[in-house]
Structure formats: C-alpha cells, structure tokens
Chain A
Amino acid sequence: MKKYNGQEIADNQSDMALSLEELEQLSPESREAFSVLDQICTSKSEEETEAILESYLASVQGDPIQKQISFDAQASLEKFRSLAANIKF
C-alpha cells in the first residue's frame, strides 16, 4: 500500500505531471484523458468539475474500450468492501 502524506495528496500536484516524453509514449486517447484530468484538477468548483467530466464521458462513449464496461456500482462497492477487509493499513 502506498504511503501518502495527507496534505500532499490533493494540494501539491506539481511533482505529479507526466513529462512531454512520457505523454508522447501514450496513445492519443490516454493523452486526452490525462489532459481532461488536468482540467478537473484545476477546476474551481464542484459544478465545473462535474461539467468537465460529463462532457468528457459523453465524448468517449463511442470508444470501443468503453463499450466493454458493464458496471454495477452497488455490486462493485460490495467487492470493494471485501477487498478492503483483506488489506492491512
């Protein structure tokens, strides 16, 4: 399990940007997703965050990899609880 400094997590992102070289090695879809995440990370309000997210998710609906996803949040939450029970903090 990674160790996180609580303050560092959400407030200091400067050390966590991908370099240009790293970005160039990604697929265009991955690059776009990281770019959207960059926008989300600098959004000023919950409304702005959700609007960026909503617009991005609508734009990737046609991506074949997205079509593989069949998701049941409640079932996933139950699975997550079992997983968390097996991890020692």
Chain B
Amino acid sequence: MPPEQFFEAMYLKHSESMLRVAISMVRDYSLAEEIVNETFLVLWMHIHRVMKHDNPTRWLYIVLRRNAIDEVRKNKKRAEVPLNEAISKSTNADFFAFPDLLPTALSDEDKQLLIWRYERGMGYDEMARCLSISDAACRMRVKRARERCAQLLHSQQKNDAI
C-alpha cells in the first residue's frame, strides 16, 4: 500500500476516536484538535516505519498521549498567567487600548493575530481568508501567538514583582 493511502486510511479510521480521547484528556475542543493534528503530522513524518509496525493503532495513541502530556504541562505553566483573564481585563480597561496592553516584545505578527481574534472578535475562517492560509493553520498560529504572549506576560509579571 502506498504511504499516502495508508495515511488516509489511518486518518479516516482513527481521527474521530482520537479527538474524543484527546478531548477527554484536555477538556478543550480546539486544543484536542491541535493535539490530534500534531499526532498525524508525526505519523506522516514516520509513515514508513509505522507501516511496518505490528500495531499502528497503539503507535498512534502513544504519540497522542505524549502530545497530550506536553499540552497538560504547558497549560500548567500558562495557568500562572491566565491569558483569558489578562485579555478580559485589558479589553475592559478604560484607559488603555488593547494593543498597548500586549507585551512590547511580542512580534507585530503575533499582536495582529491577537488583536483580530480578541479585540475585533474575528472568526478563524475570516482571519484565515485574510492571511490566505487554511483555517487549521490559522488556529495553530493563534495558539502559538497566545502561548508566546502568555510567556511574555509571565516574564513581565515576574520582573514587575522583583
């Protein structure tokens, strides 16, 4: 069987179950979707090896578990600076514009994504169209921008406390 066909068969057979297991683990639909996407990217990178594996389903779920554990650990770190809370405070602020409250060290590209998403309330589909990328790629970019923003806010908070 050609690798593309094997991959497609694995995706069609397992993606929904993997999403259901991932959502049980992380309790967040978008995050679960990202974990499943990352798992299939890893599958594609190692497709020839997995094709020879005696239990490809188990292989997939091992990678899924690993990705979920990574996310749980990242979330634990992010929880120290709850970004939603920071964003909600910033959008309710009377005297500061939302962009001014984003960390200065955040790249212009990341700021733009967060402004579109959280200040203007743009949907992923609309943002994806503006950027000429897929909806899924857009979600991933926003997720990464959020993570970088959270890390910078966390460092900023630590520096402020010193």
Residue of B whose beta carbon sits closest to that of A25: B76
The complex places the Cα of A50 from the Cα of B56 at a distance, in Å, of: 11
Contact of A10 among B21, B62, B76, B134 (CB under 8 A): B62
A18 nearest CB neighbor, chain B only = B69
Q: How large is the interface on A (under 10, 10 to 19, 20 to 34, 35 or more residues)?
A: 35 or more
Query: Which residue on chain B has the smallest CB distance to residue A60?
Result: B24
How many B residues are at the interface, by size bracket?
35 or more
A-B contact pairs, 20 of them (CB 8 A): A6-B46, A9-B46, A27-B27, A30-B24, A30-B25, A32-B24, A41-B58, A41-B61, A46-B55, A49-B58, A53-B21, A53-B57, A63-B24, A65-B23, A66-B20, A74-B12, A77-B11, A79-B135, A80-B37, A80-B40
> Nearest Cβ in chain A — how far from B53, in angstroms?
7
Q: In the assembled complex, which residues on chain A have CB atoms less than 8 Å from the CB atom of B134?
A: 79, 82-83, 85-86
Bound together, the chains give a CA A65 to CA B44 distance in angstroms of: 29
Interface string of A9-41 (1 = CB under 8 A from B): 110010011100010011101101110111011
Q: State in angstroms the CA–CA spacing of A41 and B65 once bound together.
A: 9
When the two chains form the complex, which single residue of B46, B56, B58, B137 contacts A83, counting CB atoms closer than 8 Å?
B137
B89 within 8 A of A: no
- Give Cα A41 to B61, complex, Å: 7
Distance A79 CA – B11 CA, assembled complex (angstroms)? 12
Q: Is B19 an interface residue (CB 8 A)?
A: yes
CA distance A23 to B109 in the complex (A): 36
Does B38 reach chain A (CB closer than 8 Å)? Answer: yes
Q: Are A49's CB and B61's CB within 8 A?
A: yes
A22 to B15, CA, bound (A): 26
Cβ of B64 within 8 Å of any chain A Cβ, yes or no, is yes
Q: Which of A22, A53, A71, A83 has the most CB of B within 10 A?
A: A83
B63 shortest CB reach to chain A, Å = 6
